[in-house]
Chain A
Amino acid sequence: MISLYLQDCTYFTRKEILRLFYRYRDLAPQLVPLDYTNHPDVKLPYELIGSMPELKDNPFRQRIAEVFSEDGEGNMTLDDFLDMFSVLSEMAPRDLKAYYAFKIYDFNNDDFICKSDLEKTLNKLTRNELTEDEVRMVCEKVIDEADLDNDGRLSLEDFQHMIVRAPEFLR
């Protein structure tokens, strides 16, 4: 019954949900019980989530965990875990992904991507290999290109308008 509800809430089939559950459990077998019918309140700390091979090399893993976790610190329950992979999977539609992508790139959680957010994103992407000048130039160009309402930062509409046209966004 639970999996039926979960199947309606995510883009996964029953088999995939079970597989994800076992992955979740493998991260900390002593914390996660096998029986979820009593809705135990189990949270896995961020360190365990960030060590998963799928996320280990991703520069934005911390932000991803923070966005999808309930407490905003990166500690995830099973529901959060499933939610995260459901949105990241290839079956989620573009708009949903765009919404979450916006939240991930918004480092200070103020519902706008401002210049400092962009600088942080760029540095994470290039692992601090670009010089200060280059970083500044790129961020200015990005705001120039995508900011439609001219407030010096990207709102959700600006971001969605820009990203929906990108050919490579779905990955």
Chain B
Amino acid sequence: MSEGEMARLMEEVEEKKKLIATIRNKPWRMKRRLTHLKEAQQFVDKFEGALGKGKGRKWYAYKVMMTKKWIKFQRDFENFRTACIPWERKIKEVESHFGSSVASYFIFLRWMYGMNLVLFGFTFGLVVIPEVLMGLPYGSIPRKTVPRAEQATAQDYSVLMDFNGYCKYSVLFYGFYNNQRTIGLLKFRLPLSYLMVGIGTFGYSLMVVIRTMAKNADVGGGDGDEGEFTFAWKMFTSWDYLIGNSETADNKYASITTSFKESIVDEQENQKDENIHLRRFLRLLANVLITCSLGGSGYLIYFVVKRSQEFASRDDLSWYEKNELEIIMSLLGLVCPPLFETIAELEDYHPRIALKWQLGRIFALFLGNLYTFLFALFDEVNTKLEEEESIKNASIWAMKEYYANYTRLLNDTESTPPPMDPSDVIRGPCWETAVGVEFVKLTVSDIQVSYLTILIGDFARAVIVRFLNYCWCWDLEAGFPSYGEFDISGNVLGLVFNQGMIWMGAFYAPGLVGINVLRLLSSMYYQCWAVMATNVPHERVFKASKSNNFYMGLLLLILFLSLLPVVYTIMTLPPSFDCGPFSGKPKMFDVIMETIELDLPAFLGTLFSYAANPGLIIPAVLLMVLAIYYLNSVSEAYQNSNMELKKKMQMARDEEKNRRNNTDSTNQVMKDLEDLLPNRSLAPPAPPEPGQFTPQQLCSYVKCL
């Protein structure tokens, strides 16, 4: 075979291979596809062998075999990967019964579970396990032991439920970790790893959230003009092909009909004259009411926080008084959203807009609650910091006394006295563990409240409606209570805020991420069951479409808001002197400085000190700001040119239409003109005689008509 023939053959083989790769994208009948595929595959098999003869045949044959193996491996891996995605069946079932918006909540839940699992892996593998395996065991040093005074009650169930007693002095919380610079044979630097994991948690979450947002924005195809193809889209894309249940289908038909009727009415009436003043007044009233209730809830929380500070000084507290703060916060989160929804009836918006308002208001509510809680916490921290000073002195004094007594009693100044029993050492207040305990308690009470709500609000309601219906005067199922609808916005916001609390608390309580993973896992099964067993599809079934990025945007906002307190405490507050991995250092991030000085080679140290120079940082920040400004203006320019192109296309279309519509009439006029005109001769036109018109004059005459 000659060179030219071989090259041609190779080209053909490549072509056939490309056909095989894209054959599923072609809109052919299956039979045709299969025949073409078989043909192509046979051709490739036959000639690949033939091409193998000649120069470099061994290498070519080897290459071909490796490519085949690689394709097979890729295919198996894809198969494996799709098999690994958990709960796919469950979610599809929910989707077919309730439509895509309810299913989007579960997809969001699954995504959160994945992210939390990764965070849990980091925390567990890099912080908890080393401390457990290579650190000192329980009871060996003061920070790891329950103080003598509390030992009697340390195992009580009520104390454990409060996360005191043995719980407080375990790996769950910050205070357990030792500040030894390196531990074990591997010289694992625990304090450094703790700090890095804390910061890495935020970094990873940020990266993942932004990556998902970018992917969502891409798939959505960008923002089309809202009004461009309203009716066409309504007709061709409103049916949700994933619905597989007659009840949902009925609802879907009804909502499609209503939506068409709405658009028709919108089209026909340009001006909705009916009492726009009344509507504006009602909307204003609604907003005023809601602002009042938001203010009221803020004040309530402030009041309760102040009360809990008073309670902290007393000791004889009932169960209610101890948990008052958490109970009030959860109750507010329960009562206010339905209140907002009822008030929002006054406003009379389109449901998608109403949902966005509702989400915004609930978001404001939760945000207010969270930040009031944080401020209260900070007050507590400051009090503890003041306490610390006095306790530090007291504990050193007690230690000296202990040694003095020991030598006095034994009359022996030679032998070194044994160290004080760990449970007897006077302990500092350890504010970080206290903060961690607060977050864990809040999370746990949040979990309890949400599960109870589902149980009572949905399940009990469904049971009552179903069984009492037989002996009740009005139809319970169609009338008042009826079955609940799945509250998408409430649930999504709950999830987002829960995650915000986890992010805030994870630095002070490494075990919190583990608790959250368990919570998300059980939540998935529990809510899937609850939705299928006790809920009915929404009356107006609307699509999730762009809402996904809205939820991600909320998550991003919460991520930033929960980053702030943690960074603030790392940078400004001094760590406790006797608990946690940073004890003894003036600031938490001194660990990094220490590592740079002691562990890394000298030139890196000088490099970092140069990099930290303000003279370098300020220009860098300026450069970034300028880059952002530049990218912003470039994207605006693209958007503008997009608009221009669209306008041009619209104009071209309209022109075509006009031209076609007017063609007949203009043609008619031209035809008449041509009949009237004298025969055109090659000689220049004779000067016009009176009573006769030139062609131009005739045209202008006709135009005036």
Q: B-contacting residues of A (Cβ < 8 Å)? A: 5-11, 13-16, 53-54, 56-60, 70, 79-80, 82-83, 86, 88, 93, 95-96, 99-101, 105, 118, 121-122, 125-127, 129-130, 134, 137-138, 141-142, 145-146, 148, 150, 162-171
Q: Tell me if B244 counts as interface (CB < 8 A to partner A).
A: yes
Nearest B residue (CB) for A141 = B231
Q: Tell me if B100 counts as interface (CB < 8 A to partner A).
A: yes
> Could you tell me the distance in whole angstroms from the C-beta of A87 to the nearest C-beta in chain B?
8
7 more A-B residue pairs beyond the given contacts A5-B41, A150-B656, with a C-beta to C-beta distance below 8 A: A13-B78, A54-B96, A59-B239, A95-B25, A100-B27, A141-B231, A168-B545
Chain A interface mostly: helix
Pairwise interchain contact A138-B235, C-beta atoms closer than 8 A: yes
> Could you tell me the distance in whole angstroms from the C-beta of B599 to the nearest C-beta in chain A?
48
Pairwise interchain contact B236-A171, C-beta atoms closer than 8 A: no
Pairwise interchain contact A165-B38, C-beta atoms closer than 8 A: no
Binary contact readout B69-101 vs A (1 if CB under 8 angstroms, 0 otherwise): 000000100110011000000000000100010
Pairwise interchain contact B264-A9, C-beta atoms closer than 8 A: no
Pairwise interchain contact A56-B244, C-beta atoms closer than 8 A: yes
Contacts of B29 in A (CB 8 A): 70, 79-80, 83
Pairwise interchain contact A166-B244, C-beta atoms closer than 8 A: no
- With A129-B257, A130-B257, A167-B220 already in contact, the answer to whether A57 and B79 are too (CB < 8 A) is no
Pairwise interchain contact A138-B264, C-beta atoms closer than 8 A: yes
- With A8-B37, A80-B30, A167-B545 already in contact, the answer to whether A57 and B231 are too (CB < 8 A) is no
What are 24 residue pairs bridging A and B, where the CB atoms are less than 8 Å apart in the complex? A5-B38, A8-B23, A10-B24, A13-B82, A54-B244, A56-B244, A60-B239, A79-B29, A79-B34, A93-B25, A95-B25, A105-B236, A125-B253, A126-B260, A129-B257, A138-B231, A138-B235, A142-B235, A145-B228, A145-B229, A162-B233, A165-B224, A168-B237, A171-B100
Pairwise interchain contact B37-A162, C-beta atoms closer than 8 A: no
- With A13-B78, A82-B30 already in contact, the answer to whether A163 and B657 are too (CB < 8 A) is no
> Could you tell me the distance in whole angstroms from the C-beta of A164 to the nearest C-beta in chain B?
8
- With A83-B29, A167-B546 already in contact, the answer to whether A125 and B24 are too (CB < 8 A) is no
Pairwise interchain contact A118-B235, C-beta atoms closer than 8 A: yes
Contacts of A121 in B (CB 8 A): 235-236
Pairwise interchain contact A162-B232, C-beta atoms closer than 8 A: yes
Pairwise interchain contact A101-B33, C-beta atoms closer than 8 A: no
Contacts of A99 in B (CB 8 A): 27
Nearest A residue (CB) for B27 = A99
Nearest B residue (CB) for A137 = B264
Contacts of B8 in A (CB 8 A): none
Contacts of A7 in B (CB 8 A): 75
Pairwise interchain contact B241-A83, C-beta atoms closer than 8 A: no
> Could you tell me the distance in whole angstroms from the C-beta of A136 to the nearest C-beta in chain B?
11
Pairwise interchain contact B257-A9, C-beta atoms closer than 8 A: no
Contacts of B253 in A (CB 8 A): 59, 125-127, 129
Q: How many A-B residue pairs have CB under 8 A?
A: 147
Max count, chain B CB within 10 A of own CB: residue among A13, A56, A80, A168: A168
Cα(A138)–Cα(B236), bound, Å = 12
Q: Tell me if B689 counts as interface (CB < 8 A to partner A).
A: no
Chain B interface mostly: helix
A-B residue pairs, 10 tightest by C-beta:
A57-B249, A79-B30, A126-B257, A141-B231, A83-B30, A165-B224, A13-B79, A129-B257, A146-B232, A99-B27
Contacts of A10 in B (CB 8 A): 24
> Could you tell me the distance in whole angstroms from the C-beta of A151 to the nearest C-beta in chain B?
10
Pairwise interchain contact A8-B24, C-beta atoms closer than 8 A: yes
| Number of B interface residues in the complex (CB < 8 A) | 58
Which listed residue (A9, A100, A137, A163) contacts B23, Cβ 8 A?
A: A9
> Could you tell me the distance in whole angstroms from the C-beta of B81 to the nearest C-beta in chain A?
9
Contacts of B248 in A (CB 8 A): 57
Q: Tell me if B535 counts as interface (CB < 8 A to partner A).
A: no
Contacts of B260 in A (CB 8 A): 122, 126, 130, 134, 138
- With A14-B79, A57-B246 already in contact, the answer to whether A134 and B657 are too (CB < 8 A) is no
> Could you tell me the distance in whole angstroms from the C-beta of A105 to the nearest C-beta in chain B?
7
Contacts of A118 in B (CB 8 A): 235
- With A54-B244, A126-B256, A171-B100 already in contact, the answer to whether A8 and B20 are too (CB < 8 A) is yes
Which listed residue (A14, A57, A105, A138) contacts B243, Cβ 8 A?
A: A57
- With A9-B30, A53-B244, A57-B246 already in contact, the answer to whether A165 and B229 are too (CB < 8 A) is yes
Nearest A residue (CB) for B72 = A4
Q: Tell me if B261 counts as interface (CB < 8 A to partner A).
A: yes
Binary contact readout B212-226 vs A (1 if CB under 8 angstroms, 0 otherwise): 000000011100100
Pairwise interchain contact A169-B237, C-beta atoms closer than 8 A: yes
> Could you tell me the distance in whole angstroms from the C-beta of B370 to the nearest C-beta in chain A?
33
Nearest A residue (CB) for B223 = A167
> Could you tell me the distance in whole angstroms from the C-beta of B576 to the nearest C-beta in chain A?
53
Q: Tell me if B392 counts as interface (CB < 8 A to partner A).
A: no
Pairwise interchain contact A101-B546, C-beta atoms closer than 8 A: no
Contacts of B246 in A (CB 8 A): 56-57
- With A14-B79, A145-B228 already in contact, the answer to whether A122 and B249 are too (CB < 8 A) is no
Contacts of B243 in A (CB 8 A): 57-58
Cα(A88)–Cα(B243), bound, Å = 13
Nearest B residue (CB) for A113 = B236
Contacts of B236 in A (CB 8 A): 101, 105, 121, 162-163, 166, 169
- With A5-B34, A60-B239, A141-B267 already in contact, the answer to whether A165 and B228 are too (CB < 8 A) is yes
